[in-house]
Amino acid sequence: MVIWIIIGVAVLLLALFYLVKFINIQRAKPHKPKKEKVKKSKIAPKETTIKNVHLTVKSPYMIRKEILFWKYLNLILPKQYICVPKVSIVDLLRPDGDKSIFRLIADKTLDYVIFNENNMSVALVLDIYDKSYGDEMLDEQDPFLHEILSKLGINVISIFVSSDFDRDKCKEKIYSALNINVAQNTQNTENK
């Protein structure tokens, strides 16, 4: 019986020896790197690292609903107005004195700003939102920001933009805020 135990231990040690040898051979072999799946997008993401900061070009800049609404605004606005999407508060306001309040809103971006073409003064700020699930990108602006803009004399209107929106009500709301007669401007655009 002792002989069988010795033979069993010898076979077990021999098996372990070959197992360790096999593992070492597998580690020594150069492995082919796994091919990464290439994204099937039309535009490859652009990225770089500058001074230990990894930068990537944000894509898309605007979601589909924002683009459609911007095109709509360009169609309905009279030629003395220019609509600019995604305007940063830093580009619109300049703090003077204590900057603590400004820091609270400095990272905010306004959805659309309508400027007077003559002097590029702010005529109106449009805040679009959509309460549907999955459209967290189209959220309402901070009420505190609305309050600050209204104290500065900048008119802000919020417009609900779901998958489809009432174009006539939207146009009426924008024209009312800009003090433009809807019927008169409709005739002028039809004559063109």
Q: Work out the pLDDT band at 125, boundaries 50, 70, 90.
A: very high
Q: Work out the pLDDT band at 138, boundaries 50, 70, 90.
A: low
Model confidence pLDDT, tens digit, residues 145-178? 888 888 899 999 988 887 677 888 889 999 999 9
Classify strands 156-160 and 47-50 as parallel, antiparallel or unpaired.
unpaired
Cβ neighbourhood burial of 72 (10 Å; 0-12, 13-18, 19+): middle
pLDDT at 191: 45
* Residues 26-34, mean pLDDT to the nearest whole number: 66
120 φψ region: left (φ > 0), alpha (ψ -120 to 50), beta (else): left
Q: Work out the pLDDT band at 192, boundaries 50, 70, 90.
A: very low
Return the percentage of the chain with pLDDT > 70, whole number: 79
Q: Count of alpha carbons within 13 Å of 91, Cβ hemisphere only? A: 12
Task: Give the position of tokens 């449009």.
Answer: 126
Does the pTM surpass 0.75? The reply is no
Model confidence pLDDT, tens digit, residues 52-110? 777 888 777 788 888 888 999 999 999 999 999 999 999 999 888 888 888 888 888 89
